[in-house]
Structures are given as C-alpha cells and as structure tokens.
C-alpha cells in the first residue's frame, strides 16, 4: 500500500468526537487545510510550553492557574499526539516499493559511507 492509498488522520474530529480521515494524494484543498491546522496546533503547543515554563519558574501560581495550565497542556498534548499519529501513518513502511525505497534501503548513507542522515525536529513542522 502506498502513501496515496492510506487514509490520512485529520487534525480535527467529527461533531460527535470521532476521528476524521481523508483519502487522497495529499495535494487537495482539505490536505492543505489540514497541513495549516497541524502547523497552527504545533505552534500553539510550542507557545504553551514557553508559557508553562514561565508560570512554573515564577513559583507564584495559584491552584486555579495550575489547573488551567494543566488543562491547556493536556489539550495541546492531544493535538501534538494526533499530528504525530497522522504523520507517522503516512511514512513509507520499511521495504516499501515506493519511489524512495532504493535510497532508504541502501547500505550506505547519503555521503556514500555508513553515516545516518539526521534532520532537526524543525524539519517536520
């Protein structure tokens, strides 16, 4: 099964809370909208992490502030988890016969040696 045959988990739920999926090649309007929503969710989570650090470092919070922070962090974590699930499900399986299969199954790294190409987290959105 290629990545175009796999349904994409979308970053939102149906009105009754069920997961939404999209079948397609990843180039249509809904795919672009999903990409934008995922990017916004990841940006929001990064901002919330910084806010949580500021609140916790200040050591002057009230129980209500900590409760609200925990609720917001749990929501952001759920969004980030959903993005990770969606993106992970769209990765080619090891041994996939897709267009990048030869490069992925090569015995050598990109420089012709046994090194592994590593990308920073920012490369993934």
Other Cβ atoms less than 10 A from the Cβ of 8: the count is 19
Count CA within 13 A, CB hemisphere, residue 64. Answer: 0
pLDDT digits (tens, 9 = 90+) for 55-88: 999 999 999 999 999 999 999 999 999 999 999 9
Residue 100 covered by a domain: no
**Does 123 fall in a domain?**
no
Residues 6+ apart with CB under 8 A from 6: 89, 90
In a domain, 14, yes or no: yes
- Domain assignment of residue 72, yes or no: yes
118 falls within a domain: no
Question: Quick check: pTM over 0.85?
Answer: no
CA–CA separation, 51 vs 43, rounded Å? Answer: 13
Range of the domain at 29: 3-89
User: Domain for residue 114, yes or no?
Assistant: no
Give me the number of domains the chain comprises.
1
């Amino acid at each position: 099964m290629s990545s175009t045959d796999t349904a994409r988990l979308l970053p939102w739920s149906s009105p009754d809370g069920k997961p939404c999926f999209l079948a397609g090649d990843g180039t249509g309007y809904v795919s672009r909208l999903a990409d934008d929503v995922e990017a916004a969710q990841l940006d929001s989570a990064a901002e919330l992490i910084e806010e949580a650090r500021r609140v916790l470092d200040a050591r002057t919070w009230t129980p209500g502030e900590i409760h609200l922070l925990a609720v917001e962090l749990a929501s952001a974590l759920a969004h980030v988890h959903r993005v990770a699930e969606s993106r992970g499900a769209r990765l080619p399986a090891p041994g996939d016969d897709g267009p990048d299969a030869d490069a992925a199954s090569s015995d050598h790294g990109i420089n012709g040696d046994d090194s592994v190409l590593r990308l920073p987290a920012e490369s993934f959105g």
